[in-house]
Structure 1
Amino acid sequence: MMKKLFSTLAVILLFLSCAKPEQEVYMFSFFQNNGQDGLHLAYSYDGLSWTALNDNKSFLAPEVGNAKLMRDPCIIKGGDGLFHMVWTVSWNDKGIGYASSPDLINWSEQKFIPVMEHEKGARNCWAPELFYDKDSSRYMIYWATTIPGRFEETDSTGDSGYNHRMYYTTTKDFKTFTDTKLLYDKGFNAIDATIQKIGGKYVMFVKNETKYPKAEKNIRIATSDYLTGGYSEPSKPITDNWVEGPTVAKTDMGWVVYFDKYTRHSMGAVLSDDLKNWTEISDKLSFPAGTRHGSVFKVKKSILENIKKSEAAE
């Protein structure tokens, strides 16, 4: 009887050990210099100390767009199990880049998505991001564009006449897309938005790109009950000035917003447990040399180990 009981317990314990969710690690997609060599990746177990993969060399060279750059790479895990990536292809182009991968090693053919082709005066499409909406099984792609004269009251507030607002389109298959629409306009020059769904609300972290008459260049927060609109007025700045490219992760420490201190050539971060009170933790960070901003996301540890194995095999 006892022998049978121990045997049953052993089977249960084995089942429980097998059913335990696989450990996840943090990944960071980024670019270097002007984005000419493509996608770089780093990983971290604590969200603070980051190690470059592939000897800090590119995983994927850019092939689309007028300038063939791969700046601001944003990667998310989709509902289909694939990793989907969008990026800035050029300083002055009317579309963005897109590719997908099952493992962050092998990538699909790169695609140019002409999201602002219909706007004759559009100057650019910068810092695109992705959000996967589980309820509708659709992806929202959103980015910043300047259309001279569209928001005349702030046409003189940015660098070289750039006066951005946030726009978006949605898709289920990255083949057909809804018409491009305005996502966020609160009367100021806005860029580098990234969105998280937190506690039933959509939380947008967005850069105030105002340079004149008084420089802002800081990150603020807006919220909405809906993914594609209705976002609030921005909060007070949660960072100091002259930063860009926010990306957000929920860690054991709390919510961390990473950003690029681009005038100081270093990465920074702020930490909060309530999304209201923020503490600077930049001095606790360690990133690979030359890191420029991108996106933070989680992957199963087996994905990371597979990348390491593929490097060793080369």
Structure 2
Amino acid sequence: MKQQTLLCICICTLIILTSTYCKAKEPEVYMFSYFMGNGEDGLHLAYSLDGLTWEALNDGRSVLSPTAGEDKLMRDPCIIKGGDGNYHMVWTVSWTEKSLGYATSQDLVNWNEQRTIPVMAHEEGARNTWAPEIFYDVEDDIYMIFWSTTIDGMYPETQSNEESGYNHRKYYTTTKDFQNFSPTSLLYEPGFNVIDGTIIKEDNEYIMFIKDETREPAQKNIRITRSNKLNSGYGKASEPITGEYWAEGPTVAKVNGQWIVYFDKYIEKSMGAVASSDLENWKDISEQISFPKGTRHGSVFKISSTELQKLMEKFERKTGE
């Protein structure tokens, strides 16, 4: 009897270890959430096995139509997987509204009802709420949503009359449940017009990639700022990591041991990328990447190969209906 019990324990242990090993070794693939045009038709998704060549899902058609906000746009879609196992998405709903869009999904196909979060409603002079992103802090089990806003009369030292006089700074709020939010606060004031931030964490340091939106003299490039805290302490921005072209909408992924920052060369109507193994020295690899025609900026994230297979099957069925 003891031998049988011991044998059962060994077999069960082997099954558990094998299952754990298989789950840990299941390949991941890269997903890219993006918009096209002005964001009128909603969310688009593409996938990549190598982080360089990207293929559109759903034959390049939108996978989710926008319903939130007055203008019903879905620009700058940012998707992350949260601590609850669900996918959380925020986006720009309008050029001029004081809210951002939010929705959640378990499978990237079926989304709950879209709604707006009025993060700048308290600011009478707020002109917009642009390019929101989410960062999930694992240690504190909390989400930080951050975006860029121009508030009339603020930061006159960097005010320009070009491009409708926008003069952004970065703001944030935190939440644990997407129902209750901390008061909106200033996240980053670099001393210039700043937009399009995205954050990664590496070696206990928070690294934020931002666009220098200065128009006079024109900058329009991607820079880096760092902090030991998620929601404060970001220092002086680095020199540009992108080239002479105008770039916006950075998003970051680690691919085969190197960091790749994807961005929108919006004047040239193409996607670009720079790569680095140390987050200090950057090489332009724009000629090595391929995105679906018409791709505008968004966010990169990972899913399992099983999830990708399910997505492809579901969208294939929808296409054939």
**Shorter-chain TM-score range:** over 0.9
What CA deviation, in whole Å up to 9, does each residue of 1:106-138 have, x standing for no partner? 001001000000000100000000000111111
The 8 Å contact of residues 28 and 41 in structure 1, kept in 2 or not, is answered as yes
Deviation at 1:313, TM superposition (A): 2.3
| Aligned with 2:83 (options 79, 100, 104) | 79
CA distance in 2, matches of 1:123, 1:11: 61
Do 1:158 and 1:189's aligned partners in 2 also have CA atoms closer than 8 Å? no
Taking structure 2 as the reference length, the TM-score comes to: 0.92
Of 243, 252, 256, the match for 2:256: 252
1:232-243 alignment, distance < 5 Å:
232-240=235-243, 241-243=245-247
Match of 2:3 in 1: none
Equivalent residue letter for 2:222: I
Matches within 5 A, 1:86-125: 86-125=90-129
State how far apart, in whole Å, the 2-side matches of 1:37 and 1:239 are.
30
Measure, in 2, the Cα distance between the counterparts of 1:169 and 1:217.
Answer: 26
Which whole-Å CA distance do the structure 2 matches of 1:174 and 1:298 have between them? 22
Q: Name the counterpart of 2:6.
A: none
Give RMSD over aligned pairs: 1.8
Verify the 8 A CA contact 2:48 2:54 in the aligned structure 1.
yes
Alpha-carbon contact 1:69-1:88 (below 8 Å) kept: yes
What is the CA–CA distance in structure 1 between the aligned matches of 2:78 and 2:92, rounded to whole Å? 9
Per-residue deviation at 1:253?
A: 4.7
Q: CA contact under 8 A between 1:158 and 1:209: conserved in structure 2?
A: no
1:39-188 alignment runs, 5 A limit: 39-156=43-160, 159-188=163-192
**CA offset at residue 57 of structure 1?**
0.6
> Does residue 303 of structure 1 match 2:307?
yes
Contact 2:87–2:108 (8 Å) recurs in 1: yes
Q: In the alignment, residue 27 of structure 2 is paired with which amino acid?
A: Q
Check the 8 A contact 1:148/1:155 in 2, yes or no: no
Q: In structure 2, what is the equivalent of residue 219 of structure 1?
A: 222
Candidates 284, 294, 302, aligned match of 1:290: 294
Q: Please show how residues 12-51 of structure 1 align to structure 2 within 5 Å.
A: 17-19=18-20, 20=22, 21=24, 22-51=26-55
- Inter-partner Cα distance in structure 2 for 1:233 and 1:75: 27
Partner amino acid, structure 2, of 1:143: W
Alpha-carbon distance in structure 2 between the residues aligned to 1:123 and 1:227:
26
Cα deviation code 1:188-216 (max 9, x no counterpart)? 0000010101110000000000011x110
Superposition misfits of 4+ residues, deviation over 4 angstroms: 8-17
1:228 maps to: 231
Deviations 1:275-303 (A, max 9, x none): 11000000001101110000000011111
| Whole-angstrom distance in 1 between the partners of 2:142 and 2:246 | 34
Tell whether 2:202 aligns with 1:198: yes
**What runs of 5+ residues in structure 1 fail to find an aligned partner?**
1-7
Of all paired residues, the percent bearing the same amino acid is 59
**For 1:169 and 1:9, how far apart are their aligned partners in 2?**
50
Q: CA deviation at 1:77?
A: 0.4
What amino acid is the match of 1:99?
A: A
Q: Measure, in 1, the Cα distance between the counterparts of 2:89 and 2:212.
A: 24
Q: Determine if contact 2:58/2:316 at 8 Å carries over to the other structure.
A: no
Amino acid corresponding to residue 239 of structure 1 in structure 2: T
* Structure 1 residues 193-247: Cα deviation after superposition (integer angstroms, max 9, x where no partner): 10101110000000000011x1100000000000001001000000024100000
Q: Quickly say closer, same or farther: Cα 1:300–1:157, change in 2 above 3 A.
A: farther
Structure 2: gaps (5+ residues) = 1-8
C-alpha displacement of 1:42: 0.3
What one-letter code is carried by the residue in structure 2 that aligns with 1:180? T
